[in-house]
A and B are shown apart, each in its own frame.
Chain A
Amino acid sequence: MEAETVPNSKANCCSEEIACKHCGEPTRSTDFCCTGCEAAHSAAHAAEAVTSFASSAHRQENGDYRLELAVEGIHCAACIRLIENAVADNDDVTHVRVNMTTERVSYSWQGAVERGDRIAAQVRKLGYKLYALQDASGEAGSEQEKILIKAIAVAGFAAGNLMLISVGLWTTTSETMGFATRDFFHWIAALIALPTVVYSGRPFFNSALSVLREGHTNMDVPISLAVILASVMSVSEVMRSGEHVYFDSAVMLLFFLLIGRYLDARAKGKARESASTLLSKLAGTAAVLEDGHLTRVPIKKIKGGMTVVVAAGESIPADGTIIKGESDVDLSLISGETMPLHTYVGSEVFAGTLNLTAPLEIMVTKASENSLLSEIVRMMEVAEQGAAKYVRLADRAASLYTPVVHVLGALTFVGWWSVGAEWQVALLHAVTVLIITCPCALGLAVPVVQVLASGKLLKEGVLLKSGDALERLSMIDTVVFDKTGTLTVGKPVLLPGSYDEADIQLAASLASQSIHPLSKALGAAYEGPLLPLHGQEVPGKGLEAKYNGKRVRVGSRLWCGVQGVSEPTTDALELWLSVDEVPKAHFTFSDQLRSDARRVLDALQSAGVTAHLLSGDRLSVAKKIADEVGILTVKADVTPTEKCAYLKALKNAGHKVLMVGDGLNDAPALAAADASMSPSSAIDITQNTADIVFQGDKLAPVFETLLTARHSTRLVRQNFALAILYNVVAVPLAVLGYVTPMIAAAAMSGSSLVVILNAFRLRRKRGNI
């Protein structure tokens, strides 16, 4: 995939064939050929959206414009009210509504389109973040859900009424109720069932048709065939006043399967929603200096030779060389290093790193699409293509199941015919086999478990981003951890030492004015009142301020006048406080392990999972952490490429690997792993790559998700076993012609209920750590 070929979106949205919206490669069923394209497309999209939300506004019939935006930070009634009132205060606004479930706001206004941005700006001023919604892919998902719900409603209504009639038919014989009454019941049943089959069966028929056209087969083929054959056969029975009609089975089959299908669509929709929320936050604009004035340019459009101005606290948009300014740059996203790097004129800086202390002017050496960042993204894509080949359990089951069922049906027909039965009777028995083997339980087995599992995990702050993540996670036997930000919290914490209250108050007051990681840690460590200081940041050295006529400094050892060793002798991170160049206090910091890291690692070990540590940091630092948590295999000083290669080597050795990481340098490795997790503190692109994102500053979710994954996969397998067991009992009966409509209906609902109840056991069992 070439990043240069960003086609204009108009050319793409109207084509009938599904082509990747970014690179134009033909793709199946989704809008993009790979997640990389999706990310790039949305980045370009988001960059435009920052300058103007209004461009995505729709013109309504009455001439008003309507805009829907995603809002971040809606928590309570007050939020709804604040936003709605702020927007409604504009005289030209005709409608505003906040949707709390989807976290969206929609409003319409009269007059010029551009007004939309002014209104959005008002909401932003309230402190809510707004994002332009991604393309219609999400809408298409919810549209599909709506179709399914309607189909379920219709099928449910029909199934209920058919049952009413069927029970009447089953509990008595045609002799006692009379042939006329029986025929009347049959006709009513046909009247209810046929429109229902046509309406509610469409999701299955459409899917079956489209795979048949491609020359494949899936679960929908036997479903469609069974439903259609059962209906057609029953109609012919009704017309010739036959005894057995299978309308109830056909409709009930649809009803149960639609429920499974809906749950599946919901789970997928949820995963897609969380992925697209992450995507819409990617990228943005950069300030470019042209002919003496600044313009904001989408990062995608930055070219080599441009001069970019990066304020303190902004991330650097492209690789380049510093031509003006001096600052500290946080490389942790790229390298995993905790300490920022001091940079000055002539230093090389990389896209995606964070400028901490002072503004910089950078001469861009490579366009953003050739930057180190893009290099990593490209590596990620390559790795992802390898991982995309996973075939889900249910699909594997279906590929075995379908031919077996059809052969059984055909054999039944041939068998009955060859022993001299009439062809109608032979067909009747063959169709009963198809109905009874229909994978009702199979269709429900996976979605029910999945919905329950993801619901349970969501409550624990774990977000599943892909539907098959749990299945893949359940198979892993090796877990590879990144160090900084994954095993550790990723933020240095002040260690206890020899300093008094006055020292730390003075130092914290000064330090709280900087976003340097050590300053932040110092600021966070002191909770008392701060002194009113006006500090100045000296890049690469520290902070300085006048206090009571004295010069107070917080910063590096030398700068604070400490004599002797110029470099710290240990790995400890440190800051000094000096007053008038006389050192007063010494603060040491260290990156803390997540509080439960040791316990989680032990638990993983006892669950039969080997842990590895893979870090971009120095060996000594990595080794120390590994010893603390009990990891035996450590590899330090690795580049992103080596991380990815390490993962591949493990996989080639036959291991199933889970990668847990948070940095940009982990992204390719995350993509290469069998399953991947990242903490929600990770940067967007990494969260976007990971299958699973967990919140909080504990490591326990990693283990708990693994337990849930294993448990749910076990339940899915049990469900399959139950479905097969039921088939083993029912199929011989059907082949021999003993199955009546009542038995078929009872067996079908019975097996579905058992599967659902079994899935609910997931709720009862709790992970223990």
Chain B
Amino acid sequence: MSALLYLVPIALTLGLIGLGAFLWSMKNGQYDDLDGAAHRILLDDDDEEEEEEGN
């Protein structure tokens, strides 16, 4: 049973990492424009980097 003493914290930490990643991606606006990304990939524009700035 002593295995639990580190297995449970490991399980919780992994879960927390997943939760953190999700909350981060949401805050970062990854889900704001769900259709645009699929179309944007078709553009090969050199100015793209410049436009992305400040987002």
Contacts and interface: CB of A to CB of B under 8 A. Distances in A.
A and B part of one assembly: yes
Interface in B15-55: 15-16, 18-19, 22-23, 26, 32-36, 39-40, 42-43, 45, 47, 50-55
Interface stretch (A92-100, A232-240, A264-272, A578-586): A92-100
Given A80-B40, A95-B54, A153 B33 contact: no
B23 to A, nearest CB: 6
A181 B4 contact: yes
Contacts of A76: 39
Given A77-B40, A153-B22, A153-B23, A88 B50 contact: yes
Interface residues of A, number: 33
A477 interface: no
Contacts of A95: 51, 53-55
Nearest to B36: A100
Contact of B45 (A81, A101, A154, A184): A81
A77 B39 CA distance: 5
A150 B26 contact: yes
A178 interface: yes
A275 B19 CA distance: 35
Contacts of B35: 100-101
Interface in A67-121: 76-77, 80-81, 84-85, 88, 94-102, 108
A161 interface: yes
B26 A149 contact: yes
A97 B55 contact: yes
Contacts of B19: 153-154, 157
A168 B36 CA distance: 45
A391 to B, nearest CB: 34
Q: Is the interface of A mostly helix, strand, loop or mixed?
A: helix
A154 B19 CA distance: 7
A161 B12 contact: yes
Contact of B43 (A81, A161, A164, A184): A81
A99 B54 contact: no
Contacts of A149: 26
A127 interface: no
A192 interface: yes
A606 B12 CA distance: 59
A146 interface: yes
B16 A157 contact: yes
A77 B43 contact: yes
Nearest to B34: A101
Contacts of B26: 146, 149-150, 153
A192 B51 contact: no
Contact of B33 (A77, A88, A102, A150): A102
A160 interface: yes
Contacts of B1: 177-178, 181
Nearest to B18: A157
Contacts of B45: 81, 85
A394 B1 CA distance: 48
Nearest to A153: B22
Given A88-B51, A96-B51, A101 B23 contact: no
A94 B54 CA distance: 8
A268 B21 CA distance: 28
Contacts of B8: 165, 188
A80 B43 contact: yes
Contacts of B11: 161, 164
Contacts of A178: 1
Contact of B42 (A77, A85, A164): A77
A108 B54 contact: yes
A181 B47 CA distance: 60
A102 B33 CA distance: 7
B33 A101 contact: yes
Contacts of A94: 53-54
B15 to A, nearest CB: 5
A182 to B, nearest CB: 11
Contacts of A85: 45, 47
A101 B36 contact: yes
Given A95-B54, A97-B51, A100-B39, A161 B33 contact: no
A164 B54 CA distance: 42
Interface string A668-693: 00000000000000000000000000
Nearest to B2: A181
Contact of A100 (B18, B33, B51): B33
Contacts of B39: 76-77, 80, 100
A115 to B, nearest CB: 17
A101 B30 CA distance: 12
B34 to A, nearest CB: 5
A147 B55 CA distance: 22
B22 to A, nearest CB: 5
Nearest to B48: A84
A99 B55 CA distance: 12
A80 B43 CA distance: 9
B36 A80 contact: yes
B32 A101 contact: yes
Nearest to A142: B32
A149 B33 CA distance: 16
A80 B45 CA distance: 12
A149 B47 CA distance: 34
Nearest to B26: A149
Interface in A153-180: 153-154, 157, 160-161, 164-165, 177-178
Contacts of A80: 36, 39-40, 43
A34 B49 CA distance: 46
Contacts of B23: 150, 153
Nearest to B54: A95
A99 B51 contact: no
Interface of A: 76-77, 80-81, 84-85, 88, 94-102, 108, 146, 149-150, 153-154, 157, 160-161, 164-165, 177-178, 181, 184, 188, 192
Given A76-B39, A81-B45, A101-B34, 9 more contacts: A77-B42, A95-B53, A97-B51, A101-B36, A146-B26, A150-B26, A153-B19, A157-B16, A157-B18
22 contacts: A76-B39, A77-B39, A80-B36, A84-B51, A94-B54, A95-B53, A95-B54, A97-B51, A99-B36, A100-B33, A100-B39, A101-B33, A102-B32, A102-B33, A108-B54, A153-B22, A153-B23, A157-B16, A157-B19, A161-B11, A161-B15, A192-B12
Interface of B: 1, 4, 8, 11-12, 15-16, 18-19, 22-23, 26, 32-36, 39-40, 42-43, 45, 47, 50-55
Closest 9 A-B residue pairs measured CB to CB?
A100-B36, A77-B39, A95-B54, A157-B19, A100-B35, A99-B33, A77-B42, A101-B35, A101-B33
